[in-house]
Amino acid sequence: MKLQDLLSQLFTEGSNIVTTDWLVTGDATVAGKPISILGTTNHTFIGVREVVVLSEKFLDIVERFPGRPILMLVDNNGQRMALDEELLVLPEYIANLLKAEQVARLAGCKLIAIVYGNTVAGGFIGFGMGADRVVSVPGGETSVMKLEAISRVTKMPLEKLQALAAKVSVFAPGSENFYKMGGIYEMWTDQFPNRLQHLVGSDISKDLRVQLGHERGGREAAQAIIEDVLQS
Amino acid sequence: MNPNSHISYLEATARRRIAGLLDPGTFHEFIPPTLKRVSPHLGLFDAPVAFDDGAIIGDGKLDGKDVYVFAQEGKFRGGSLGEVHSAKITGLLRRAAQRKPAAVIGLFDSGGVRLEEANAGEIGATEIIRGIFDAQKAGVPVIGLLGGGTGCFGGAGITSCCCDALIASEEGRLSVSGPEVIETVMGVEAFDSRDRALVWRTTGGKNRFLFGTVAELVDDHIPAFRSAVIGAMTAQKPLRVADLKQDLERLKKRIEAYGECSDATQIWQKMGLDAENVAAMSSQELKAEKEHIVKI
């Protein structure tokens, strides 16, 4: 959904948000308390320059408002795919962003990500999936790689991939698939303020994704594997 | 065994790497292949499975200390992150956070997310990252090794950079989008993946070492990796805002200094190196050279 629609539906108690061509920053009031907002828009690509800005904002928020929840608004078309990005070691940049998210978590900031646009592969790993809870709203689309590209890389016929995608959640794009695999905690369609208020007020410190993937039938092997390793 | 003989890390299997890295005979595998915990998904694609799903995990001793190890087998589906593969590594890291071994050593050799299990693999990568952070929070350093034939790409590449320290040979390649993927998606003019020299100098261990992403550069020799890991086992960066800010300054300066470069040779020239000779230098020679260059 459009950023402006999301913001107006999400924040009924007031907000102060600044948007550039790709960056969203600000704060809002949820259940009478302030939360910090950091997001991206216009399907931006996540490259070294975007990461530097996002990391800096994260660290700034942690220093100024430790303990305050951070809402991450997610819309990207993935990592910037280019030789010069990789030349500068893009994975190190994305890892810095993930560490900034972790340092926020260590400072007591709850991290909640809302997928409202696209979110793809390395972009989603760096900005979105590092949150304590990831939710989607209508129009939020998650993917690793489009079926056409999977077909080109794996040399599997597209028709076969399309037929499989209709049956299983494990590989094809779509928030519904990520939900079934446990990667999306909830898919919101209405009552955004109430739902956000509830998440902000809950203990969301434990990573539940393996368990949810199991309960929803998307990942039936992972939970038993982890339990067996813990008990080995 | 002749201590001077060359034991290639690059050419060894993941199991051979573990055996050569740890104190002899100390490795004990969790969920070994005899249990046949195979991928529940690959069959849908008529793809072969492996009894270890390309991930080997367990505990052992290194220099007499208790350590945990995970190793990706690049020869099985490019060491890719599937559901079972990722869960084994996540399980090991969660166990490390509980039981606190002296270190977790990760032998990365992965093309990234397994496309047949793309969603499970991508979520799995972020569960591994969370596992690394939780182990670090518990005081357990996580040390990553790059030197396998597949390299370390995509979600695995990002994951490896969350480690406390990376040790690599020049053969160890690291990036997010691999050359083949950039070529497939963006076209051959964006990245010619058949140009091996271009691939090596862009993503290879030397470039990553000169930038400081890789803490220690070693020769393609398993005992050399072993010595470097022993040396790195005390290295532990607590995650603090001040340190991350410093790190970020370094990354910003890198963009300012080299952001316009389109080839590693331009970067090396700017650093003050004899760019044409970097490819031919041994890890020792390059380490000596690095002492004299502009450090960014």
The structural domains of chain A, with segments of one domain joined by +, span: 3-204
Task: Check B155 against A125: CB less than 8 A apart.
Answer: yes
Asked if B167 and B216 count as a contact pair (C-beta separation under 8 A), the reply is yes
Instruction: List, as ranges, residues 41-100 from B with C-beta within 8 Å of A.
Output: 41, 44-45, 57, 83-84, 86-88, 90-92, 94-95, 98
Shortest Cα distance from A66 to chain B (angstroms)? 11
Task: Check B126 against A168: CB less than 8 A apart.
Answer: no
pLDDT in tens, B72-118: 999 999 999 999 999 999 999 999 999 999 999 999 999 999 999 99
Residue B4 confidence (pLDDT) = 61
Shortest Cα distance from B120 to chain A (angstroms)? 6
Cα–Cα distances (Å) from B153 to A62, A161, B51, in that order, read 30, 23, 23
Nearest to B182 among A81, A183, A228 (CB): A81
Fold exhibited by the domain A3-204: 2-enoyl-CoA Hydratase; Chain A, domain 1 (3.90.226)
Residue B181 confidence (pLDDT) = 85
pLDDT class of B295 with cuts at 50, 70, 90: low
Task: Check B129 against A130: CB less than 8 A apart.
Answer: yes
For A25, half-sphere exposure in the C-beta direction (CA atoms, 13 angstrom radius) is 11
Residue B234 confidence (pLDDT) = 80
Residue A60 confidence (pLDDT) = 97
Shortest Cα distance from A31 to chain B (angstroms)? 28
For residue A222, what is the nearest residue in chain B, using CA coordinates?
B87
Residue B71 scores a pLDDT above 80: yes
pLDDT in tens, chain A (232 residues): 999 999 999 999 999 999 999 999 999 999 999 999 999 999 999 999 999 999 999 999 999 999 999 999 999 999 999 999 999 999 999 999 999 999 999 999 999 999 999 999 999 999 999 999 999 999 999 999 889 988 988 888 999 999 999 999 999 999 999 999 999 999 999 999 999 999 999 999 999 999 999 999 999 999 999 999 999 8
Residue in B198, B221, B151, B161 with CA at minimum distance from that of residue A90: B161
Shortest Cα distance from A228 to chain B (angstroms)? 8
Q: Which chain B residues are Cβ-neighbours of A88 within 8 angstroms?
A: 211, 254-255, 258-259
Q: Which chain B residues are Cβ-neighbours of A125 within 8 angstroms?
A: 122, 125-126, 129, 155, 158
Mean pLDDT over the full length of chain B: 95
Residue B296 confidence (pLDDT) = 64
Asked if B54 and B72 count as a contact pair (C-beta separation under 8 A), the reply is yes
For residue A84, what is the nearest residue in chain B, using CA coordinates?
B262
Residue B2 confidence (pLDDT) = 56
Asked if B87 and B117 count as a contact pair (C-beta separation under 8 A), the reply is no
Task: Check A209 against B127: CB less than 8 A apart.
Answer: yes
The C-alpha angle with vertex B17 and arms to B15 and B23, in degrees rounded to 5, equals: 100
Alpha helices in chain A (DSSP H): 3-10, 48-64, 83-87, 90-106, 121-126, 147-154, 158-165, 175-180, 192-200, 209-215, 222-231
- Between CA A23 and CA A73 the distance in angstroms is 10
Nearest to B30 among A171, A222, A232 (CB): A232
End-to-end C-alpha distance for chain B, whole angstroms: 41
Nearest to A102 among B124, B133, B254 (CB): B133
Residue in A150, A60, A164 with CA at minimum distance from that of residue A109: A60
Task: Check A221 against B208: CB less than 8 A apart.
Answer: no
Interface test with chain B among A70, A144, A206, by most B beta carbons within 10 Å: A144
For A120, half-sphere exposure in the C-beta direction (CA atoms, 13 angstrom radius) is 18
ipTM: 0.98
Place of tokens 């271009």: B198
Place of tokens 């100098």: B201
Please give the residue that has the higher pLDDT: either A176 or B235. A176
pLDDT class of B235 with cuts at 50, 70, 90: low
Q: Locate the DSSP E strands across chain B.
A: 28-30, 55-62, 65-72, 103-108, 142-146, 165-169, 216-218
Residue B185 confidence (pLDDT) = 81
B211 at A interface, C-beta within 8 A = yes
- Between CA A79 and CA B239 the distance in angstroms is 24
- Written as one string, the DSSP assignment of A60-85 is HHHHHSTT--EEEEE-EEEE---HHH
| pTM: predicted TM-score of the whole model, two decimal places | 0.97
Interface test with chain A among B29, B88, B126, B192, by most A beta carbons within 10 Å: B126
pLDDT in tens, B141-199: 999 999 999 999 999 999 999 999 999 999 999 999 999 888 888 889 999 999 999 99
Residue B184 confidence (pLDDT) = 82
B236-249: average pLDDT: 89
Residue B237 confidence (pLDDT) = 66
Task: Check B158 against A220: CB less than 8 A apart.
Answer: no
Task: Check A222 against B83: CB less than 8 A apart.
Answer: yes
- Between CA A87 and CA B266 the distance in angstroms is 11
CB pairs under 8 A between A and B: 249
Domains of chain B: 14-237 (3.90.226.10), 240-296 (no CATH)
